[in-house]
Structure 1
Amino acid sequence: MNIGLAILLIVLALAGGTFLGAFLVRKQIEKDFAENPRLNVDAVRAMMSSMGQKPSEAKVQQVYRQIKASQKEATKKK
């Protein structure tokens, strides 16, 4: 086998592996963010308190579910 061909195949395999790995990592991160949003119930409660609202547990859960649903919808549209 020609040495130039061997080097070309190694470079192509390295580039292909890099792009495939980046694609798979991106998909995994998107899946993790969809299942576990960055905002949690405590963050929503703190956000509502900072806006001057007295957060009831029902309102906190409602806002949290809305945030989680909107994130799922956004990932489905991509």
Structure 2
Amino acid sequence: MWELVLVGILALLAGVALGFFIARKYMMNYLKQNPPINEQMIRVMMMQMGMKPSQKKINQMMQAINKQMSSK
């Protein structure tokens, strides 16, 4: 009986470890394909919209994005 409990606990621990590494690999690939937005991307976006990107505006947009992401 106790062998069955021991096997169950070991299988659970192995599943948790395997799930962690699979999720980590998935997130690494996702972030490689879809990098988070940075100042250079904001600068290009503003130039495409016909705006002159000043560092102050870029900093304000970065702060707004970071604030919105941290509130989720």
- Superposed pair shares fold, TM > 0.5: yes
TM-score by length of 1: 0.54
2:51 to 39, 53, 76: 53
Percent identity, aligned pairs only, is: 27
User: Please, which runs of 5 or more residues in structure 1 have no aligned partner?
Assistant: 30-36
After TM superposition, list the pairs within 5 Å mapping 1:3-18 onto structure 2.
6=3, 9-18=6-15
1:6-61: CA deviation from partner (whole Å, max 9, x where unpaired):
35632443234434763xx68xx7xxxxxxx8111111111111222111110011
Equivalenced residues, count: 60
Determine which structure has greater relative contact order: mean sequence separation of CA pairs < 8 Å that are 6+ residues apart, divided by chain length: 1
TM-score by length of 2: 0.58
Provide the alpha-carbon RMSD of the alignment.
3.0
